[in-house]
Amino acid sequence: MVAQPAKKQRFNALALFRNALSYHQNWEQQWRSPEPLEAYDVVIIGGGGHGLATAYYLAKEHGITNIAVLEKGWIGGGNTGRNTTIVRSNYLWDESAAMYEHAMKLWEGLTQELNYNVMFSQRGVLNLAHNLTDVRDTQRRVNANRLNGIDSIYLDAAGVKKVVPGIDLRGGGRYPVMGASYQPRGGTARHDAVAWENAGKCDEMGVHIIQNCKVTGFDIEGGVVKGVQTTKGRIGAKKVGMVPAGHSSVLASMAGFRLPVESHPLQALVSEPIKPTIDTVVMSNAVHAYISQSDKGELVIGAGVDQYISYGQRGSQHLAEETLVAICELFPQYKRMKMLRQWGGIVDVCPDASPILTSTPVDGMYLNCGWGTGGFKATPGSGHAFAAHIAKGEPTELTAPFALSRFETGFLIDEHGAAAVAH
């Protein structure tokens, strides 16, 4: 039995008006919650942005619709709903630039493609340089970006002030701003919307979105995956795609192999809402601070990762404090503001700060993990590339450099400089 597609409600001004008449009580669910079938062609583990995007592109571009997406919690409840929504593609190496720029191009058409406003706002992203080493590294990265056709510009201090009038270039003496890389096409997107509409579109094409379904083990016979054991029983699978941000080591251990990742808490916080003060994204790689302003007016601030391994979804207070100290030095006008909420998510960090998109020692099992502190920006690109990898059963041009084997060959893709969070 193949899952049946659903008829979909539309989102437009007329629908908004019509639903307003009934106090918005009668909107349909955007995706159904079916009980799992006995078996699927592809089972995707992890219903975050990357997992849903993988299922979406498998259905749309590869004609595979007999898919289940298993999510242990609820859609949008993991890192998809916890990140700081920044999108950019100014990575140093050719392999990552190709991957993130692929994602950027998909982002640019995503609202049209999904017919759902993902509020992709290309407000520009700055990565600050605070000392001479930063300046040289930044210029090198900008030049590499331009060779790869990415819109990257090096700004000197005066140029930074022009783009971000509110910044104090002296940085309180501790974090002087000497320059920055600037990607005008970078920006932010509505993270929840990306998850919700990918889920809705998947559901429309017949993909089963199964929430509250935790994977507890794998059925592997003779090195070939046959199915997954879950809290909702056994589900057969011809192919399994694992997209488990935060728990990739745990899943890999269940399947009998190990990974070169460490799980760390990464935290973010938002302030009370204020009138528009900053219309771009400012990131400081050296001081673990990045800031933008949401449409609601809150300052969205990202902090660093805890040094130790943790699966507890919360960060330490002293990291948030360090970040806010730096933010206050760079933007003294925010000193008296209050923070409203703080939260953490678990990020799987690879030794080279680049992700893993790979086939695994188990036949039919594919893995997409290790996006570290910056997976959100890659959501559509990661899903698109991983779907092609799963459909073909072998690496594609985009995914091949991100194979697990790079840790043996030494062909690492060192993106610690572009990853923007020191780890």
Partner 1 sequence: MLLIRCPYCEQERPEVEFSFAHQAHKPRPEAAGEPLDDHNWARWVYYQKNIKGVAHERWNHAAGCRKFFNAARDTVSSEIVATYKSGETPPVPESRIEGEDLSFDYENAEGGA
Alpha helix segments (H runs only) across 205-255: 248-255
Closer residue to partner 1 in complex, CB, 174/318: 318
Mark residues 96-125: x for contact with partner 1 by CB under 8 A, - for none.
------------------------------
Stretch of 61-69, 206-214, 271-279, 405-413 lying at the interface with partner 1 (CB under 8 A): 405-413
Closer residue to partner 1 in complex, CB, 261/330: 261
Interacting residues of 347 by C-beta distance below 8 A, sequence separation 6+: 79, 245, 246, 263, 264, 265, 266, 305, 371, 372, 373, 375
Residue 66 sits in the site that holds partner 1 (CB under 8 A): no
- Nearest alpha-carbon partner for 387 in 27, 54, 129: 54
d(CA 247, CA 254): 11
Neighbours of 418 (CB within 10 A): 26
Could you give the count of Cα atoms lying within 13 Å of 222 in the half-sphere of its Cβ? 0
Question: Least distance in Å: CB of 321 to partner 1?
Answer: 10
Give the tokens for residue 340. Answer: 């409203």
d(CA 298, CA 312): 25
Residue 217 sits in the site that holds partner 1 (CB under 8 A): yes
Residue 411 sits in the site that holds partner 1 (CB under 8 A): no
* Unique residue bearing structure tokens 């001479």: 132
Neighbours of 202 (CB within 10 A): 28
Give the tokens for residue 53. Answer: 């995007």
Applying CB under 8 A, which of residues 84, 284, 359, 382 lies at the interface with partner 1?
A: 359
Mark residues 131-170: x for contact with partner 1 by CB under 8 A, - for none.
----------------------------------------
Applying CB under 8 A, which of residues 166, 176, 206, 260 lies at the interface with partner 1?
A: 260
d(CA 59, CA 39): 17
Write the single-letter amino acid at 407.
F
For residue 141, the surrounding DSSP H or E stretch is: helix 132-147
Closer residue to partner 1 in complex, CB, 28/394: 394
Closer residue to partner 1 in complex, CB, 11/257: 257
Residue 409 sits in the site that holds partner 1 (CB under 8 A): yes
Question: Least distance in Å: CB of 360 to partner 1?
Answer: 5
Give the footprint of partner 1 on residues 236-255 (CB under 8 A). Answer: 247, 249-250, 253-254
Residue 39 sits in the site that holds partner 1 (CB under 8 A): no
- Which parts of this chain interact with partner 1 (CB under 8 A)? 217, 247, 249-250, 253-254, 256-263, 307-312, 316-318, 351, 358-361, 367, 394-395, 400, 403-405, 407-410
